[in-house]
């Protein structure tokens, strides 16, 4: 597994859910947490393939997760 980028949540203790949106197009990867941009990277090595969601050193829940092709 290769991590392309990472972001830390700035939420206070108490496990407040924050929406995370990823936009991936032609090797350009952008992540938005709670509507704010937190990651912008270009990596053409992964222009095709599958998605994977993971967290290290914490807990995460996924709800309303979907993938849409342009």
pTM score, two decimals?
0.60
* pLDDT the model gives residue 1: 42
Residue by residue, pLDDT tens for the chain (70 residues) are 445 555 555 444 566 777 888 888 888 889 898 889 998 989 888 667 777 777 788 777 777 777 777 6
* pLDDT the model gives residue 40: 92
* pLDDT the model gives residue 13: 59
**Are 33 and 20 spatial neighbours (Cβ–Cβ below 8 Å)?**
yes
**Helix count and strand count (H, E) for the chain:** 0, 3
């Amino acid at each position: 597994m290769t991590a392309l980028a990472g972001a830390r949540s700035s939420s206070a203790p108490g496990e407040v859910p924050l929406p995370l949106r990823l936009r991936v197009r032609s090797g350009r990867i952008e992540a938005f947490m709670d509507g704010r941009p937190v990651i912008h990277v270009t990596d053409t090595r992964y222009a095709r393939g599958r998605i994977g969601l993971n967290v290290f050193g914490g807990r995460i829940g996924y709800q309303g997760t979907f993938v849409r092709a342009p």
